[in-house]
Structure formats: structure tokens, C-alpha cells
Amino acid sequence: MSTVYTRPLARLVEQFQRLPGIGPKTAQRLALHVIKRPESEVKALAQALLDAKQQVGLCSICFHLSADPICDICRTPSRDESLICVVADSRDVIAIEKTREYRGKYHVLGGLISPMDGITPDQLQIQPLIHRASQATVQEVILAINPSVEGETTTLYLAHLLNPFVNVTRIAFGLPMGGDLEYADEVTLARALEGRQRVQ
Amino acid sequence: MSTVYTRPLARLVEQFQRLPGIGPKTAQRLALHVIKRPESEVKALAQALLDAKQQVGLCSICFHLSADPICDICRTPSRDESLICVVADSRDVIAIEKTREYRGKYHVLGGLISPMDGITPDQLQIQPLIHRASQATVQEVILAINPSVEGETTTLYLAHLLNPFVNVTRIAFGLPMGGDLEYADEVTLARALEGRQRVQ
């Protein structure tokens, strides 16, 4: 590699390759693109990287990514305080926010219980969740956690802990919209049947 | 967007999206990844961007990307000075270098003649090429230019200018290795027939 690229270019290609989903070909394309852009654009990208890393921390209430001590969602008075949606990761908050359907608050666990990976409940933001859920204003906690082995474990664990304080629900699993019964896998179909609802 | 991401994160997502082939989903994935990496790694990426932009220029002989006034390839004494391979872009040099088959020198035009896009021969590094090709040490100029409309125009233009000084050849076009006659397009097949060679 070092003979193919001039040194600073080789370093940039290598840095791009460390990013997820960026292989050698894409890293090369990105590096050659960057070199041809005006210096101001490259500086803007470099600065955005540093700023994001240095300024973005976690909300002290819900642990969502935030540049302020308390995130925009927790600070918005119009959001329903009686509802807390529990997710594994900040990217799940972003995904749900993009639906524009949910008007409650969130709680980001920061991962899922996974004894195999050495992630135990005390490494997740579970104590602060119990503290929040036990407050009188909270009526319902929605568990919006992936239906993986770790997700199921975490969901059951949380349901057990939270049920004494609050109504605990979980998001529905079933056939995706636009999906086809014929091509759905058995597990999805079984969950869809299990989660059937009365048609009024 | 601005309500979904905290400000510095939104700016980083936006900056990533300016890169070629990076859509909103990938930009988000990259930005969320960056935020979770140690600060030293993020600084290394930011610095690599700035260094590559500030330190990489063009070789004064062959116009390949180089951090030094004369690139590694032009400086290597073991490379065959009698052979110049002409390409449109530095990425073509990188592609040919990766084959490890070529031991001559290069000349990067910096584009292709394209009257439609307002690119005329005087905007490309053609004068320096003629100067190099007219020197006694140079025996052969290989044109390694894409078989597009602009590429054909540039190839014919260069062949016309260079033929008085030097042997001019061009790379072969034909069926790709592992390709299938049955599925080759007609133009490729016609070029493959036209470029047939004697089997010894």
C-alpha cells in the first residue's frame, strides 16, 4: 500500500477504513475525493468530527446523546411525561423520532444484557430507569427492544423489575408493512399470530 | 433533522453526507460510530483529513498525487524511463500500480478532453507530456484511457500529437478475464475480435 499511495494519502485511506462498512475501495474513493475538495470543506469535516466528539455527551435524565446536560427531548415541555420508551441505543431514539408518532419521553439503556459479552445489568442505565419509573407522573413504560436473544433477556428482566411500579408494555412484533405472509419466516409469523388483536 | 440529532451530531451527519456514495443512513451510522470512539481516534481521523489536504499536491514531472515535489514513482531509479503510461486520473495510476505488472513511469492528464463539459486540451497536462515524450530516453507511450467518448477523443488527439516523437500504443480492450462470450455486450465483443492476436 505504502508504495501505491503517497504517505498522507495512505494514512487517510487507512483512517477511513477504520469506519464501519468502509472497505478499501470506498476508503480510497473517499480519500481521493477529499483531496480534490477545497481546503475549507475539508476543514469543516475535520472540525465537525472534533466538535461532535468533544461536545456530545449523554443526557443526565434519559442518557440519549446530547450536547447539553439535558437533551432536547427531556427539555420539551409538550412531551408526555407519563410515558417512557426504553431503548437499547441512541440510534433507536433517532429511528423512533423519525416516525413522528411518539410524543413521550425516552430512556436509553446503553446496551442489552449479554452474559456472553460480559454485559451485566449494572453496566446499563437500569437503576436510573427504575428511579424514573417509580415516580408518580409515569404511567407506562414501553419496552422497544430488538427481538434478539439479548433483547428478550433484557425485556424480561426489565418487565420483572418495573411491573411493581408502573404499567409495562412492549412494541408489537409481526409482519412488516408491505410484507407478504407467504414469504415471512416462521418466527415472525408465529409472533404475528401470537400478537393478534381484535378487529372492531 | 435538527430535532432528531443534537446540533454537533447533526453537523457531522451533514458533513458525512457530502462525501460521495454516503447517504443519510450511512452518514448517521458513521457519525454515531465516531462519537463512541476514543477521542484520540477521532483526532487521528481529523488530522489525517487535514494532513492529506494540506500536504498532498501533484508531482511536478508526472502530475500524480504526491506529498513531495517529485513523486515516489518518478524518483525510483529502477523504473523504466523509456516507458510512459498516460492516464486520465491519479486513481488510474493506483489501479495499475496494484497489478504490480508495470515498471515504467506515468503521466496523469488530470481529465479527458470533453467539449461538452468545457474541458479543452489546454486544461490538461498535455504540453508537459509532449515535452517528456520528445526526449531521447522515451521509447514508448502507452495510452491507458477509458474507452468512453471522451476517452476515445483524447486517445486519438494524443496519438496524433505524439506519433512524430515516439511509439504510441494503447491498452487492449476485449473480453474481461472470467467473462463469458455469450453474455458480453456487442461493443466489447467487436473490440475483442478487432484486437485479436496471433497464437504462437
| Position B181, amino acid | L
Cα–Cα distance for residue pair B133/B126, rounded to 1 Å: 10
Which residue bears the cell 408494555? A169
| A 153-182 residues inside an 8 A Cβ radius of B | none
Nearest to A52 by CA among B49, B132, B32: B32
Check CB contact of B36 with chain A, cutoff 8 Å. no
CB-CB neighbors (< 8 A) of B8 in chain A: 48, 51-52, 55-56, 67
* Cβ partners under 8 Å of residue A36, min gap 6: none
Chain B residue at shortest CA distance from A94: B4
Q: Tell me which of A4 and A34 has the higher pLDDT.
A: A34
Residues A40-49 as b or e (16 or more Cβ within 10 Å = b): eebebbbbbb
CB-CB neighbors (< 8 A) of B49 in chain A: 12, 15, 34, 42, 45-46, 49
Give the pLDDT confidence score for residue B192 in this predicted structure: 83
For CA atoms A62, A67, A73, A74, the dihedral sign is positive
Check CB contact of B71 with chain A, cutoff 8 Å. yes
Question: Beta strand pairing status for A65-66 and A57-58?
Answer: antiparallel
CB-CB neighbors (< 8 A) of B6 in chain A: 56, 65-68, 71-72
Chain A residue at shortest CA distance from B38: A53
Q: pTM for this one? A: 0.80
* Cβ partners under 8 Å of residue B157, min gap 6: B113, B121
DSSP state of B116: G
* pLDDT tens digits for range A151-189: 999 999 999 999 998 999 999 888 888 888 888 888 888
**Mutating which of A39, A49, A72, A75 best tests the B interface, going by the most B Cβ atoms within 10 A?**
A49
* pLDDT tens digits for range B65-120: 999 999 999 999 999 999 999 999 999 999 999 888 899 999 999 999 999 999 99
pLDDT tops 50 at residue A51: yes
Answer yes or no: do B34 and A19 touch at CB < 8 A.
yes
Asked whether B87 and B63 are in contact (CB, 8 A), the reply is no
Q: Angle A183-A187-A193 (CA atoms, 0-180°, nearest 5)? A: 90
Give the pLDDT confidence score for residue A189 in this predicted structure: 84
Nearest to A162 by CA among A60, A81, A62, A84: A84
DSSP H or E stretch at residue B88? none
* pLDDT tens digits for range A104-126: 999 999 999 999 999 999 999 99
Task: Provide, rounded to the nearest whole percent, the portion of chain B with pLDDT above 90.
Answer: 76
CB-CB neighbors (< 8 A) of B55 in chain A: 8
Answer yes or no: do A97 and B9 touch at CB < 8 A.
no
Q: Measured between CA atoms, how close is B12 to chain A, in angstroms?
A: 5
Give the pLDDT confidence score for residue B3 in this predicted structure: 66
**Mutating which of B53, B62, B75 best tests the A interface, going by the most A Cβ atoms within 10 A?**
B53
Average confidence score pLDDT of chain B: 92
Answer yes or no: do B15 and A53 touch at CB < 8 A.
no
pLDDT tops 90 at residue A38: yes
Give the pLDDT confidence score for residue B2 in this predicted structure: 46
Cα–Cα distance for residue pair B109/B150, rounded to 1 Å: 13
Task: Provide, rounded to the nearest whole percent, the portion of chain B with pLDDT above 70.
Answer: 98
Binning pLDDT at 50, 70 and 90, where does residue A79 land? very high
pLDDT tops 90 at residue A194: no
Check CB contact of B1 with chain A, cutoff 8 Å. no
pLDDT tops 60 at residue A1: no
* Cβ partners under 8 Å of residue A54, min gap 6: B39
* pLDDT tens digits for range B87-99: 999 999 999 998 8
Cα–Cα distance for residue pair B12/B31, rounded to 1 Å: 6
